[in-house]
Amino acid sequence: MNGVVIIDKPAGKTSHDVVSAVKRILGVKKAGHTGTLDPMATGVLPVCLNEATKLAGFLTADSKEYRAIMLLGVKTDTQDTEGKITGQSDKVVTPDEIKAALAGMVGKIKQVPPAYSAVKYCGEPLYKWARRGVMLDATPREVEIQSIIVEDISFPRVTFSVVCSKGTYIRTLCADIGELLGCGACLCGLRRLRSGYFSEDMAVSLDNMSGADKKGELAAKILPMAKLLPLLTAIEIEDSFVDRLRDGFQPSVEAMKAHVLPFLETGDMVKFISRSGCLVALAEMIAPVSNFPEIDEKCQAAKIVRVFNSVQN
C-alpha cells in the first residue's frame, strides 16, 4: 500500500495525531505528512504511505493556499487565539487601511518564525524551549506571499485567502499586519485549501466512519505514486531499463537517447515510469538534451535521486 492520501485535518488534532491515525487504520509500516498544520488549523494534510514517504521532501516544496481569519486588536505569545494575551488595543482601522496593509505583504518578505513553532534550535523545536520559558530569537527567513484576497471585513475580524511559499507562517503574517496597522493582531481561524497539487476536494475526513468503512474509504482515496508530481516530465521506460535503474544504474546519454524526450535543461527533474504504470525513479538532468549530439554517449545524462520498489499497490 503505497501512495498519498489527503486528509481533511480536524481542529484540535496535531498533524502527528492524524498521521498516527492513518497509519493505524491502514496498517502501514511507514507514514508521514508533507507539512505541519497547527492544532487549531483544519484542511488539506497530505499523508505519504510506505514508499511514497521518499517523495515527502519533493511534495513539501510546493506552494500552499489558506483561508485565514485575523483578529485585530489582540496580541498573544503564540500569535493565535490559543496563546496568552500580551496586548490589546481598541484602535479602529478602516477597511481601506486593512486592505492596504494586506496588499503590502505581497511579494518576498522576511518572517521571524514564532517562538511557538517547529523550527529547531540546537536540535529541539522552538516550542519546547518556549514551554520551558526560554524565548529564543529565531533567524528571519525569506518567504513569498504570491497573492492575498480580502474576503470579508467584519471588524475586528478579517477573513482573507493567501497563496504562499512553503515555510510561511500565517500566524506571523497576521501579527506583522497588526503591527503595521498599529493595533496588533493574531490568527483566530485557519484552513488549508491547497498544498501544491493536492486540494480540499481530494480530502477525506476521519470523522463519522467506523472501522472497516474507514479503512475502505481511505484505501480508495490513495493517489498512486506515478500520478504524483504531475508537473515533472514523465519518461516511460522498458522493463530492462527499470531493472538497471533499481540496480543502481545512472542514466547515460546513450540510454536516454533511446526515449522520446522533450527539451530538458540541466537541473530539470524527471520521473521514470514503467510500462505497467509504476513510478521507478526520480532523476535530475545533469546535461541538457540539446547537447546530447555533442556528448560522448557513455557520459552520464541524469543523476538518480530516488529509486522506488517494484510493489506499489
Q: Return the pLDDT at 103.
A: 97
Q: Return the pLDDT at 87.
A: 97
Query: According to DSSP H, which parts of the chain are helical?
Result: 15-26, 56-59, 95-103, 126-131, 170-181, 211-220, 239-246, 253-257
Low-confidence ranges of the chain (pLDDT < 50): none
Q: Return the pLDDT at 6.
A: 97
Contact 48, 69 (CB under 8 A): no
Cell 527567513 found at: 141
Active site residue 176: no
All three cell numbers of 104: 503590502
Q: Return the pLDDT at 118.
A: 58
Distances 9 to 36, 193, 241 between C-alpha atoms, Å = 11, 11, 40
Angle at alpha carbon of residue 142, lines to 8 and 81, rounded to 5°:
45
Confirm whether 3-62+197-226 and 64-195 share one CATH topology.
Answer: yes
Sorted by sequence, the CB contacts under 8 Å of residue 261 that are 6+ apart come out as: 233, 235, 289
CA-to-CA distance for 311 and 9, rounded, in angstroms?
29
Pick the CATH number of 64-195 from 3.30.2350.10, 3.30.70.3460, 1.10.3470.10, 3.20.20.70: 3.30.2350.10
Global pTM? 0.88
* Residue 5, H or E segment: strand 3-9
Q: Of the residues 8, 38, 80, 176, which is catalytic? A: 38
The 10 Å Cβ neighbour count of residue 26 is 18
pLDDT digits (tens, 9 = 90+) for 154-168: 999 999 999 999 989
Pick the CATH number of 232-307 from 1.20.1250.20, 2.30.130.10, 3.90.1150.10, 3.10.590.10: 2.30.130.10
DSSP secondary structure code for residue 51 in this structure: G
Q: Return the pLDDT at 262.
A: 82
CA-to-CA distance for 196 and 192, rounded, in angstroms?
11
- Hey, where are the domains in the chain? 3-62+197-226, 64-195, 232-307
Sign of the Cα pseudo-torsion (239, 244, 250, 254, in order): negative
Note the CATH number of domain 3-62+197-226: 3.30.2350.10
